[in-house]
Amino acid sequence: MPSLTRASAPLARIALVAAAAVAAAGCGAPSGTETDSGSAGGDWSPVTIEHAHGSTTIDQKPERIVTVGWSDEATLLELGIVPAGMNASTYAGDEEGYLPWDLEKIEELGADKPELINTDDGITAEQVAALSPDLVLGVQSGMTEKEYQQLSEVAPTVPYLDQPWMTGWKEQALTIGKAVGKKEEAQQIADDTSAYIDNLAQDHPEFQDTTYAVGTVMPSTGEFGFYIGKDARPVIMEQLGFSPAGFAEDLPVEDGQFYGTLSQENADKIDADVLVMWFNTAQEREKLEDNPVFQKVEAVQDDAYIGYEDPEQSMAISTPNPLTIPWVLDGFVEDLGKAAEGQA
């Protein structure tokens, strides 16, 4: 998610966290089906998935899947399945709303681009129904119970598992794998991705015993927002070997939120060995970095501060999945290594 907004409404949901479509057809692989020789059909045993709004049973092998969760489509693509429709990214996507790692994988699979659905103002059942899905995935989403009920009238629907926007990437991959009958393949993908992160951590022993804070500037109030707990950014940092800075864990956190807030006047309380800040715009970044109070933060003075404003990087880190992790992490880890050494 872009800074603290999962993009716009998704910058409102994901920041704080970001027209009826027609079924796709064309010369590439058919949307919503697997691209290997074992495509749709075959034996299928019903599966039931427990989630925040109850449980969903998938009685038949899905052949047309629509994804309305952030990055759900990436996990599906990594499993070799091209959705019939997927969530558009108005924050980090191209002019149409496609994300670069998705396009790379779609091209690799030799498929047509799926139809896009704009969910910035909520998930509209009519748009989803127009694509005639037999499965709807919103595992990484803030799908409301009302939206879930409406979508369930269209097709079996899997929303977030516990808290909105807080399904971990590994849990997301395994849930989607189970839903589409590729449980073993999803487990292998999760294991390979975890091993990739573990190898990066082993290559950087300097991350051990180094504290971190990852934050942004709240567009509405100008306060700092520091990500905590199960949010994807802290999870990635800790998988790489970092430890959370104590001050961030002590910040006030509203119920259901994934960040704690701190006023800019109290920037001197930011006590972390490495400080990473994500911004929505270059102007937002420049304004903070010109702030004399921020300049006195120890990590800033120690050249252990990194600032990012690139939407693609922000999206790749804030909604990590088996496609974005290798896409973004090498460069991110290189920057973290310089920060940990005081050379950012």
Q: What is the mean pLDDT of residues 108-116?
A: 97
- State the pLDDT at residue 199: 97
Which domains are seen in the chain, by residue range? 20-195 (3.40.50.1980), 206-340 (3.40.50.1980)
- State the pLDDT at residue 249: 85
Q: Which tokens sit at 33?
A: 């089906």
Tell which residue, 140, 161, 145, 163, has the closest CA to residue 68: 140
| Residue 102 neighbours by CB distance under 10 Å | 23
Collapsed DSSP state (helix, strand, coil) of residue 69: coil
Q: What is the mean pLDDT of residues 199-210?
A: 96
Cα separation, 81 vs 103, whole angstroms: 13
Q: CB-based contacts of 261: which residues, under 8 Å, 6+ apart?
A: 218, 221, 223, 224, 225, 226, 251, 252
The distance from CA 86 to its chain's CA centroid, rounded to whole angstroms, is 14
Residue 255 confidence class, pLDDT cut points 50, 70, 90: confident
Q: What is the mean pLDDT of residues 139-156?
A: 97
- State the pLDDT at residue 45: 95
Residue 227 confidence class, pLDDT cut points 50, 70, 90: very high
Q: What is the mean pLDDT of residues 212-232?
A: 93
- State the pLDDT at residue 27: 31
pLDDT over 90 (residue 213)? yes
Residue 212 confidence class, pLDDT cut points 50, 70, 90: very high
Q: What is the mean pLDDT of residues 303-320?
A: 95
Where does 142-231 have alpha helices with state H? 145-152, 169-179, 183-203
Q: What is the mean pLDDT of residues 145-171?
A: 96
Taking only the tens place, the pLDDT of each residue in 48-97 is: 999 999 999 999 999 999 999 999 999 999 999 999 999 999 999 999 99
Q: What is the mean pLDDT of residues 300-313?
A: 96
- State the pLDDT at residue 79: 98
- State the pLDDT at residue 34: 57
Q: Which amino acid is at 77?
A: L
- State the pLDDT at residue 14: 35
pLDDT over 70 (residue 11)? no
Taking only the tens place, the pLDDT of each residue in 99-111 is: 999 999 999 999 9
Cα separation, 252 vs 231, whole angstroms: 16
User: Average pLDDT over the chain, rounded to whole?
Assistant: 88
Partnered with residue 142 across adjacent β-strands are none
> What is residue 114's DSSP assignment?
P
- State the pLDDT at residue 32: 56
pTM of the model: 0.86
Higher pLDDT, 47 or 34: 47
Q: What is the mean pLDDT of residues 258-273?
A: 94
- State the pLDDT at residue 238: 96
Q: What is the mean pLDDT of residues 30-39?
A: 44
- State the pLDDT at residue 253: 87
Tell which residue, 62, 67, 137, has the closest CA to residue 97: 67
Q: How many helices (H) and strands (E) does the chain have?
A: 14, 13
pLDDT over 50 (residue 44)? yes
Q: Which tokens sit at 109?
A: 């699979």
pLDDT over 80 (residue 291)? yes
Higher pLDDT, 229 or 6: 229
- State the pLDDT at residue 190: 97
Q: What is the mean pLDDT of residues 132-153?
A: 97
